[in-house]
A and B are shown apart, each in its own frame.
Chain A
Amino acid sequence: MEHERDEYLMARVGRDQPELLEKLLRRHASPLLTFIQRMVGDHHRGEELFQEVFLALWIKRRQYQYPRPFKPWLYAIALNKCRAWFRNRSATTIPLTLEEASIDASPADVVIATETAGLVNRAIKQLPHQQRAVVVLRIWEGLTYAQIAEVVGCTEPTARSHMHHGLATLRKHLELRLNM
C-alpha cells in the first residue's frame, strides 16, 4: 500500500510525525544493524552507530525529498556514519563478536556456523571500506548496483568494479580457510 511505503512514511516523518519514525525504525532495524556491523565489525559500536544513524535521520528529516528512494538514503546516512567512525576510530579495534548460531542447530552445527561466520567476518574485514560497503550492500542487503552506487556515492560501473575486486579478495581469503 502506498501509505505503508518507506518514502511516504519518511515524508510524513519530515512533517513532524515522529510516531511514524518508529515504524520505519522497526522495518529497517535489523538489515541496517547488519550492514553497520558488517561494516564496522564491532557489535557494540554497530549498535551505537545504529542509534546515531536514526538520530541523524530524525534531525535531517526535513531534508528528505519525497519520493527519493528511502532505503539508499538511509544506507547513505549509515555509510557516512561508518566512514566518520573509520576516520575517528582508534588504532586498536575491538575484535569481532561472533554471531550466535540458530538455537535450533546442533552443537556441532553451531560451532561450524560460528566459525564460518567468524571466517566470513574476518574476510569482509580484509576488504577496503568502499569494497566492503558494496559487497555487504549487495550480498546481505540485496540492493541493486544502481542503488549501491547511490548509497556509496559513485557510478554504477564503479560499484560493479568494487564488487568484482571485493569478490576476488573474498574468494582468495575463503578458498584457503573453507578448504574448497
Chain B
Amino acid sequence: MAVTNEHVADLVDDYLHALLSPGRAAEVENHCTVCPTCQAALDEARRRRAVLQAVPPSEASGQLLTGTLRRISEHDQKRRRRRTRFFVGSLAALAASALLLIGAQIYYHRLQATPYDLVVLGQRNLLAATNSSLRIRLMDRARNTTLAGVPVVVELRGNGRSAELARFDTDAQGVGQPRFRLPDWPDGEYGLVVTAQTPGNAEILARSIRLTRSWKLMLTSDKPVYQPGQTIRIRTLALRQPDLRPVAEQKAVFTLTDPKGNILFKHAGPTSAYGIVSTDCPLAKEIAEGAYTLACKIGDTESRLRVEVQKYVLPKFQVDVRPNRAFYQPKDTARITVQADYFFGKPVADAPVEMEVRQDRAQVLQRFSVRTDAKGSQTIDYTIPDELAKVGDTRLSFVASVTDNAGQKQTRGVERAVTRQPVRIEVLPENGKLVQGVPNIVYLLATRADGTPVKTRLEIDVLNEVVETDANGLASCEMTPQAAEYRWTIVARDAEGKVIAQRDVSLFAGPARHDFLLRTDRGIYESGQTMTLTADGDGDEPVFVDFLKGEQTLLSETIAMNDGHGSSAFDLPPDLFGTVRVCAYRLDSDGVLLSKTRVVYIRPAGQLKIAPKLDQEQYRPGRRAHLDLTLTDADGKPTPGAISLAGVDEAVFSVLPQRPGVETAFYTLERQLLQPVYALYPWSPERKAADAGRLEQALFAATTRGQEQKRPGRNQDWRTDTNAFANPSGSHTLAESSLPAKVRDIQHTQQNGENRLRIAWGVLILATLGLGYVTLWCFPRLKVVLILHAAAFLVVTPLLLLFIVLEVGIGAGAKESASMNTAASPVPGGTFRSDFDLTNTDLRMDEQVQLNFNVDRIEDVSVPGAVDPSAVMGIPSAAAPRIRKAFPETLMWTPQLVTDDKGHAHLDIELADSITTWRVSASVVAADGRLGATQLPLKVFQPFFVDLNLPVSLTRNDEVSVPSSSTTTSTSRRPSPSN
C-alpha cells in the first residue's frame, strides 16, 4: 500500500466527491490514516459535505404542479386556437386567390383589341416650320366598314412640348388628309399622336417622327478661274427647304481645299437676314495649280464648288466658231463661220485663222488657213466625208485659232454630231404604260439629232392614222387598247413624201382592273394655279394622290371614282412649287396596290425682276460708273431685297466659262427627277415656247412610273385591307396601322397574363396542398387524411412543377416566336419597280463644247516714261496722257446690297483701267425667298490706247520680245514697232 508523505489536505474534497482516480484516492485515504493533520482536513471535508447535503431540497407544491399542468394545457389550447385561425385564414385567402385567378382568367380570355384601325401614311422625317400633310384612314374591322364623321386630332409631342397640328372629321370614305404646319421646334425625335374619337375608347396611334432642318446652299464665286496671288470671293445663299425661305443667323463655315486635299482656308460667319454669307479667300503667290474645292457648310448641309487655279493671261479678244447646222449627215457641206472680236467691241480684222476639223476630238481630218475680213469674220466650207458615221453617230470638232496683229492667239472649238438618222421619233404614252379599255393619249415627238423639233407627217400603221407634228415636233393620237401588247411602226415623211425616219416600238397595255390612268391637265403649272387631275380605270375605288417635294408630303388629295372615272380640281397652295412628285395610288378590286408616280413642275410665284441701269452706255477707264438697280415683283410692284453684285472681266469667262443667273433653277429643279425630260428635250423652266403646253405635258408624261404591289390575302376590299397604304411611293416612310400593333399588344398581354396565371394556379395548388399538410400536421389525429394528403402532395407536386416548367418554357418560346413574327411582318415597304421605261437615252442633245487651249496674250501693264501716243499719232494733246495701271479681273464684288423699301439701290463703281467689257451679274433674294437674277455688260473703252503682249512669266536674264499694239477709234490699226 503506497503512502505518500506529502499532505493531501487540498485533495480531501476531491476525494470525498469522487474526483480522484482510484489510485490517487487510495493514496489520500492511506495518508490520512497516518497523518493527523490531513485526517483532520478529511474530517472537515466530511462535515462540509454533510452540511451541504443537509440543506433540504425544495419541495414542489401541489399548487405548482397543478399550475404547471394548467399552463401546459392553456398553452395547448392557445396553440390550437392559433392553428385554427391560421387554417381558416389561409383557407379564406386561398379561396379569395382562387376567385381572383378565375376572374383574371376570364379577363385575359375575353381580352381582345378594339375593332378600329387607324392608318397613317406620311413621312418619318419632317422638316421643322414647314407645311406637311398626312393621310389618315379609319375603319371598323369587325363590321368591315369605314368610319365616317369621326373627329380626329393630330398632335406632336415631345421634350415637354405639345402642339395640335390638325383637327378634322373623317370623310365618307373614312379618310382624312389634314394639311398642317409643323412647329419650329429644335431638331430631334418627337411623338406624332393621332387620336380618333371612336365609339367607346379613343383609337390612338403614336409613332416617333424626327424633326429636322434642311437647307439648300448655293455657293458662288466671283470667277471660275484664278491665278496664284488673287483673292477668291465667295458667297453663299442659304434657303430653307422646301419653302425656300432665307436662313438667317446660322453659322456658315467656308473651307478651301487644294488639289491634294489639304484645307488651306477656313472661315466661319453667320448668315444675314437674307440668308447670305460671304468671305474673301486670298491665294498665296506660290501655290499648286489645279482644281480647288470651295465648300460651305451650314448645319449638316454642305455645298461645294470647284474653281481652277492656274497661271494665264487674259485674252483680249474672243473667237466664236459657228457651224451653220446643229448636226450633219455624210456628204453635207458644213459652213463654219469664225468670228473674232476684241472684248472692247472691235473686230479682229485681217488676222490669220487656222482651223482644224477633228473626228471624236482626236483624228485631224482637215486643216484650213484663212484670214479674217474687216469685220473679223471668215467662213469655211467643209464637206463631210461619206465614210463617216457608217456605224452609229460620230462627232466632229471644228477648232479655230486666230492670231491678231499683236501676236495674241485665241483658240476656240465647237462640236457637231454627224448622223445618218437625222430625225428621231419618240413614242410617249401619257402614263408610260397603256391601260386597256380606256382612251389613252399617245404623244409622238419628232426631233432632229440636236433635239430641235421637226414638223412632219407621221404614219402609224396599227391605227391606220396619219398625224402631223406641230412646231414643237409633237403630235398625239388617242387609242383604246384591248390587247396586252401592240407593235407600232411609225414612218415620218417630209413634204415631198420621202421617208425621213422610221421607228418600230412595242407598247404594253395593262388591264383596267389592275391599272389606272392618271392625267394632269398640264405638265407645268404656275404657283397657285388650279390643277385638274383625272383618273381612268375600273371600279369605284378612290385614287389617293400625294404631292411630295423632296421627301415630304406637302399636299394630299383624293379622286373619287365613279364607274371607273374620276376627276378632281384643286388650287395649288402657294408653298407648293418647284419639282414636285405626284404619287397616286389605289387598291383595285383584287386588293392589289397600284401606284403611279410622275413629276410636275410648278413655277414659283412672283419671282423678282431686277432692272439695272447704268448712267452711260460706255465708260472711260478709271472713271466712275453709277449703277441704279430697281427690284420689282412679277407684277411690277417694287419689292425690297438683297442684291449680290459681281463685275468680272468678260475675258475671264473665255478662260473658263461660267453660266450666270441660275439661282431659280438651282433651287427649284430636281435634275434627277427630271432626267427623263432632259433625255427627250432641252427643257428649262425659263423656256416658254409658244403653244408649249402640250409639249410640256408630253415631256413630263415621260416621268410617269407605275408600280404594283401584290400582297397575300388577295380579294380584300380596300376598305378592309390593313396594308392598304403600305408605302406606295417608296417615300412614305411612315406607313403605320394601329390595328396590327394593337392586336400584337393584346396577344402579348394575353400570353403574358395567361402564363402568369398558370404559374399563379400552380402556386395556389401548391399552397393548398401545403396548407392541407400543415393543417393535418397540426391536427395529427386525422392520420388517414394526412397520409392521403401527403401522397397527393408527393405525386402532384412534381407533376405541377413539371407543368410549370414546361409552360414557362413554351410561353417563353411562344413569346420569342411572336416577337420574331412581329419583327418579320412590319407594314411592308414598297419597293420601286418600274414596269417599263420608254426613256430613250440614245438621243443626244446638241452640245456645244467649249475647248480651251493655251492662249498667248499680253496683259495691260503700265509703262513708266512711255512716249505720248497722241504725239506719235500726231494728235494734239490737251492734257498729259493717262497711264493705265489697274487691271483687276474682278471689278467689284458686293455680296449683299440691301435695297430700300421701294426696291431701289444704287452703286458707284470705280472703274479699273482695263479696256474691256465687264460682265455685271446681279442676283437678288427677297426676305420671303423669292429669287431673281440678271446681268448686263459694262463697256469700258477709250479712242486710243496701247496694249502690250507680255509673257506669263519671265526668268532672270531672259531676252524678251514684247509685242505691243495700239488701237484708235478709226478702223485703221497701226501696229507699233516691236521691241
Are B71 and A55 in contact (CB-based, < 8 A)?
A: yes
B58 within 8 A of A: yes
Question: Smallest CB–CB gap between B220 and chain A, Å?
Answer: 97
B49-57, B281-289, B360-368 - interface stretch: B49-57
Contact for B56 among A46, A102, A170, A174, CB less than 8 A:
A102
Chain A, 96-133, CB within 8 A of any chain B CB: 99-102, 113, 116-117, 120-121
Question: Smallest CB–CB gap between B24 and chain A, Å?
Answer: 12
Are B69 and A22 in contact (CB-based, < 8 A)?
A: yes
B67 within 8 A of A: yes
Q: Which residue of B lies closest to A51 (CB)?
A: B68
Q: Given A25-B68, A55-B75, A180-B44, check contact A138 B51 (CB 8 Å).
A: no
- A178, B45: Cα distance in complex, Å: 12
Inter-chain contacts of A59 with B (CB < 8 A): 75
Inter-chain contacts of A160 with B (CB < 8 A): 19
Inter-chain contacts of A101 with B (CB < 8 A): 56
A31 within 8 A of B: yes
Are A21 and B72 in contact (CB-based, < 8 A)?
A: yes
Chain B, 50-87, CB within 8 A of any chain A CB: 51-60, 64-65, 67-69, 71-72, 75-76
Are B13 and A167 in contact (CB-based, < 8 A)?
A: yes
Q: Given A50-B60, A120-B52, check contact A26 B65 (CB 8 Å).
A: yes
**Among the interface residues B47, B54, B57, B59, which one has the most CB atoms of the partner chain A within 10 A?**
B57
Are A33 and B19 in contact (CB-based, < 8 A)?
A: no
Inter-chain contacts of A29 with B (CB < 8 A): 60, 64-65
Question: Smallest CB–CB gap between B50 and chain A, Å?
Answer: 10
Inter-chain contacts of B574 with A (CB < 8 A): none
- A121, B57: Cα distance in complex, Å: 12
Q: Which residue of B lies closest to A26 (CB)?
A: B65
Question: Smallest CB–CB gap between B542 and chain A, Å?
Answer: 85
- A168, B47: Cα distance in complex, Å: 15
Q: Given A51-B64, A58-B75, check contact A121 B55 (CB 8 Å).
A: yes
Q: Given A46-B58, A139-B52, A178-B51, check contact A171 B13 (CB 8 Å).
A: yes
A66 within 8 A of B: no
Chain B, 1-34, CB within 8 A of any chain A CB: 13-14, 17-19
Are B56 and A99 in contact (CB-based, < 8 A)?
A: yes
Are A58 and B780 in contact (CB-based, < 8 A)?
A: no
- A180, B55: Cα distance in complex, Å: 17
Q: Mark B69-108, 1 if CB is under 8 A from A, else 0.
A: 1011001100000000000000000000000000000000
Are A174 and B55 in contact (CB-based, < 8 A)?
A: no
Are A117 and B56 in contact (CB-based, < 8 A)?
A: yes
A4 within 8 A of B: no
Question: Smallest CB–CB gap between B952 and chain A, Å?
Answer: 113
- A120, B48: Cα distance in complex, Å: 10
Q: Mark B484-496, 1 if CB is under 8 A from A, else 0.
A: 0000000000000
Inter-chain contacts of A145 with B (CB < 8 A): 18
A30 within 8 A of B: yes
Are B48 and A174 in contact (CB-based, < 8 A)?
A: yes
- A175, B9: Cα distance in complex, Å: 13
Question: Smallest CB–CB gap between A38 and chain B, Å?
Answer: 8
A147 within 8 A of B: no
A47 within 8 A of B: yes
Chain A, 151-180, CB within 8 A of any chain B CB: 160, 163-164, 167-168, 170-171, 174-175, 178, 180
Question: Smallest CB–CB gap between B41 and chain A, Å?
Answer: 10
Chain B, 553-599, CB within 8 A of any chain A CB: none
**Among the interface residues B18, B58, B65, B72, which one has the most CB atoms of the partner chain A within 10 A?**
B58
Are A33 and B17 in contact (CB-based, < 8 A)?
A: no
Are B13 and A168 in contact (CB-based, < 8 A)?
A: yes
Question: Smallest CB–CB gap between A164 and chain B, Å?
Answer: 6
Inter-chain contacts of B57 with A (CB < 8 A): 30-31, 34, 140
Inter-chain contacts of A51 with B (CB < 8 A): 64, 67-68, 71
Inter-chain contacts of A55 with B (CB < 8 A): 68, 71-72, 75
Q: Which residue of A lies closest to B47 (CB)?
A: A180
Are B67 and A120 in contact (CB-based, < 8 A)?
A: no
Inter-chain contacts of B76 with A (CB < 8 A): 18, 58
- A117, B69: Cα distance in complex, Å: 30
A70 within 8 A of B: no
Are B54 and A113 in contact (CB-based, < 8 A)?
A: yes
Are B17 and A180 in contact (CB-based, < 8 A)?
A: no
Q: Given A113-B54, A170-B48, A180-B48, check contact A33 B72 (CB 8 Å).
A: no
Q: Given A22-B69, A29-B60, A30-B60, check contact A167 B55 (CB 8 Å).
A: no
Inter-chain contacts of A140 with B (CB < 8 A): 53, 55, 57
Q: Which residue of B lies closest to A58 (CB)?
A: B72
Are B58 and A117 in contact (CB-based, < 8 A)?
A: no
Question: Smallest CB–CB gap between A123 and chain B, Å?
Answer: 9
Q: Which residue of B lies closest to A28 (CB)?
A: B60
**Among the interface residues B44, B47, B52, B56, which one has the most CB atoms of the partner chain A within 10 A?**
B52
Inter-chain contacts of A33 with B (CB < 8 A): 58-60, 64
Question: Smallest CB–CB gap between B831 and chain A, Å?
Answer: 79
Question: Smallest CB–CB gap between A100 and chain B, Å?
Answer: 8
Chain B, 253-287, CB within 8 A of any chain A CB: none
Task: List 13 extra interface pairs beyond A139-B53, A164-B19, CB under 8 A.
Answer: A21-B72, A22-B65, A55-B68, A102-B56, A139-B17, A140-B53, A140-B55, A163-B17, A164-B14, A174-B51, A175-B48, A178-B48, A180-B47
Closest 3 A/B residue pairs (Cβ): A29-B60, A34-B57, A167-B13
